[in-house]
Amino acid sequence: MGIDKDLENSTIYKAKLGDNSAFEEIVKKYQKSIKVFAYAFFRNIDVADDVSQEIFIKVFKKLKKLRDVSNFKKWLFKIARNTCINYYRKSKKHKDLLEFNESISIHNENKEDKFILKEDIKNSFLKLSSVERKAIILVSLIGFSYKETSEILNCPIGTVASRVYRANKKLIKNLS
């Protein structure tokens, strides 16, 4: 096990014992990945923000029950998946929330090329099916193995591989 992994496991263990600053470190490390994952579900940055907060609240409450800190990342994304599914089910009653699709926020509005590129990437990403977006985010952006992704998404490894393959093929086609 590497030094970084030992340090991360130590931080998770401290958070599990109630160290709030250690939990803050965990949130800082995984916040962006969780938000991207939630965005894949809802395609709305405001909803992704809300769900991300809800995910970390659940993690905080359940962290003491985590048996093996070395499985934290997989455990975290299973909580994220279940929270997104539950949030989606609840929000079906409020469809207008899901139909609103906010455009990507631009930090350097004066750079038109960056804006166009971000919009192209966003539009290509949104053309993927929901299952393809989730698979490619977990594998390509977050770095889970196909096996870990299959456990998080609760589907066979072959299904994950085909979703990632199709997503990559569609992204390349849409961006070229």
Residue 131 CA to residue 45 CA, distance in Å, equals 18
The domain defined by 1-102 folds into Rna Polymerase Sigma Factor; Chain: A (1.10.1740)
DSSP H or E stretch at residue 134? helix 130-136
Residue 78 CA to residue 96 CA, distance in Å, equals 27
Span 59-76, average pLDDT: 91
How confident is the model over 122-171, as pLDDT tens digits?
777 888 898 998 898 888 888 889 999 999 999 999 999 999 999 888 88
| DSSP per-residue letters across 52-63 | HHHHHHHHHHHG
pLDDT band at 9; cut points 50, 70, 90: confident
Structure token digits, residue 93 = 């009653």
pTM reported for the whole predicted model: 0.64
CATH 1.10.1030.10 assigned to 105-176: no
Structure token digits, residue 54 = 């809800």
How confident is the model over 105-122, as pLDDT tens digits?
334 444 444 455 566 667
pLDDT of 83 strictly over 80: yes
Any idea where the domains of the chain sit in the sequence? Answer: 1-102, 105-176
Q: What pLDDT was estimated at residue 92?
A: 63
